[in-house]
């Protein structure tokens, strides 16, 4: 299946060449001089399934970029630190990166509450922060600030993609299960809002908010089954998702019910399900092995050759992020924070998933996502009936952004 987004072939093989072709195509000699250091903060220990493939791809892209001249004739150097999956540790590490490691800007984070803490640090210290993974809407809306940008489609964007995919079924009675922290609560609120707008008579008949990483799958599945919803909106991921699916399969929770599930199609979470992968859930994910665009195929081939492993969504995201850093610095021609901010607002990039714009009004990228259904291929979970959805069509309206943002 071919993605329906228009793309430009990658110049010189692998590089996810930016729209800034003079900067990327001309310099083919290795970069020299003092490196440009970028601080990368992430949950490498607790969220290793996502974060380690993400780091691998950043390092692969860094090597490619530096072999072709780096940015401004200098090599890029990503300085990685673990955030301990807590806001306090993340802020401490961010301070260390700025004061001791002399990074030009900071990036990363995984958990939404951690991303918000680092965003506040960036605002106080007046240093740019590119949030690559946290999905909370607050990051670019109510708690947004002029120093913080986000790469991935937000919780609102991905939830809206799923609502669009399911609304024609007219299902009214829904149960919700989501981790009890900012991301899960935000996803549930978005689902309620968007489904109420799309489906007359929509109602939530059961809600379960287990603690992140500590789901009691038996109690959660039992409560949902007792409410007898016609549809289930699931936001669990990682080990919580695996336990929820196993218990739900055992008790028949998903039989004759529509299930809509954020992130479940990402290999990080789909691979562990194995033969337990349910059939026909409507999901966002990453069907890496089915994407035939030449730029993406080149990325997958290089990643598999280097790491002897299949790419995850984290791998895709890390690779795109590193090249965006390269193109941003090249266009800015400076590491001054104010120049970087001015350059980043409304800048257009070409990535291995197609064009992406960093919308200036809320500093949210228009990166899209893959929407499809779960299926079992042999003993492995996979996506079917998928399509790539342009994130530009699923963002908050500019009027809503202006109403809630303070900076």
The domain ranges of the chain are 21-150+294-351, 156-289+370-394
21-150+294-351 to CATH, choices 1.10.760.10, 3.40.50.2300, 1.10.940.10, 3.20.20.70? 3.40.50.2300
Instruction: Give me the chain's average pLDDT, please.
Output: 91
Tell which residue, 306, 254, 318, has the closest CA to residue 282.
254
CA distance 121 to 135: 18
DSSP code for 5: S
CA distance 78 to 72: 16
Task: Tell me whether the CATH fold assigned to 21-150+294-351 matches the one assigned to 156-289+370-394.
Answer: yes
Per-residue confidence (pLDDT) for residue 24, from 0 to 100: 34
Residues whose CB is less than 8 angstroms from the CB of residue 144 and which lie 6 or more positions away in sequence, other chains included: 119, 138, 362, 363, 405, 406, 407
CA distance 13 to 217: 46
How many other C-beta atoms can be found within 10 angstroms of the C-beta atom of residue 73? 13
What are the start-end ranges of the E strands in 201-346?
Answer: 203-208, 231-234, 258-265, 282-285
Number of H helices, E strands in the chain: 13, 15
Element (H, E) at 176: strand 173-177
Element (H, E) at 348: strand 348-351
How many other C-beta atoms can be found within 10 angstroms of the C-beta atom of residue 378? 7
How many other C-beta atoms can be found within 10 angstroms of the C-beta atom of residue 331? 21
156-289+370-394 to CATH, choices 3.40.50.2300, 1.10.3720.10, 3.90.550.10, 3.40.710.10? 3.40.50.2300
Q: How many CA atoms lie within 13 A of 11 on its CB side?
A: 15
Q: Quick one: CA torsion of 323, 329, 335, 338, rounded to 10 degrees? A: -110
Tell which residue, 357, 331, 352, 300, has the closest CA to residue 10.
352
Per-residue confidence (pLDDT) for residue 182, from 0 to 100: 87
> Which residue in this structure is represented by tokens 């083919």?
28
Per-residue confidence (pLDDT) for residue 406, from 0 to 100: 82
pLDDT tens per residue, range 321-338: 999 999 999 999 999 999
DSSP code for 363: T
Q: Which two tokens stand for residue 57?
A: 């791809």
With a cut of 70, which residues of the chain have pLDDT below it? 1-29, 31-32
Per-residue confidence (pLDDT) for residue 19, from 0 to 100: 30
């Amino acid at each position: 299946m071919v993605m329906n987004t228009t793309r430009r072939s990658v110049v010189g093989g692998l590089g996810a060449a930016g729209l800034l072709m003079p900067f990327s195509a001309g310099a083919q000699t290795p970069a020299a001089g003092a490196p440009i250091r970028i601080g990368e903060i992430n949950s490498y220990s607790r969220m290793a399934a996502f974060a380690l493939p993400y780091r691998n791809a950043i390092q692969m892209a860094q090597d490619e970029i530096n072999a072709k001249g780096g940015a401004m004739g200098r090599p890029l150097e990503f300085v990685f630190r673990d955030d301990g999956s807590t806001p306090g540790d993340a802020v401490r590490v961010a301070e260390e990166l700025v004061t001791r490691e002399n990074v030009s800007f900071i990036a990363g984070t995984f958990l939404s509450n951690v991303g918000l803490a680092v965003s506040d640090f960036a605002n106080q210290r007046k240093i740019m922060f590119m949030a690559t993974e946290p999905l909370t809407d607050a990051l670019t809306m109510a708690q947004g600030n002029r120093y913080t940008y986000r790469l991935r489609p937000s919780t609102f964007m991905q939830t809206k993609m799923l609502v669009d995919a399911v609304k024609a079924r007219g299902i009214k009675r829904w149960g919700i299960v989501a981790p009890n922290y900012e991301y899960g609560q935000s996803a549930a609120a978005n689902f309620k809002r968007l489904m109420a707008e799309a489906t007359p008579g929509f109602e939530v008949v059961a809600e379960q908010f287990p603690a992140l990483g500590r789901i009691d799958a038996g109690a959660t599945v039992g409560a949902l089954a007792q409410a007898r919803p016609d549809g289930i909106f699931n936001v669990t991921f990682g080990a919580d998702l695996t336990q929820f699916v196993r218990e739900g399969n055992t008790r028949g929770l998903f039989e004759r019910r529509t299930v809509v599930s954020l992130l479940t199609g990402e290999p990080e979470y789909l691979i562990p399900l194995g033969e337990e992968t349910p059939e026909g859930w409507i999901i966002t994910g990453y069907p890496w092995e089915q994407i035939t665009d030449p730029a993406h195929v080149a990325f997958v081939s290089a990643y598999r050759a280097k790491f002897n492993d299949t790419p995850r969504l984290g791998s895709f995201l890390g690779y795109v992020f590193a090249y965006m850093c390269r193109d941003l610095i090249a266009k800015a021609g400076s590491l001054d924070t104010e120049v970087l901010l001015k350059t980043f607002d409304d800048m257009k990039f070409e990535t291995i998933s197609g064009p992406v714009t960093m919308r200036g009004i809320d500093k949210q990228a228009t990166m899209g996502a893959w929407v499809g259904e779960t299926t079992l291929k042999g003993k492995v979970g996979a996506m079917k009936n998928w399509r790539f959805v342009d994130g530009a069509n699923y963002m908050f309206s500019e009027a809503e952004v202006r109403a809630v943002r303070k900076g």
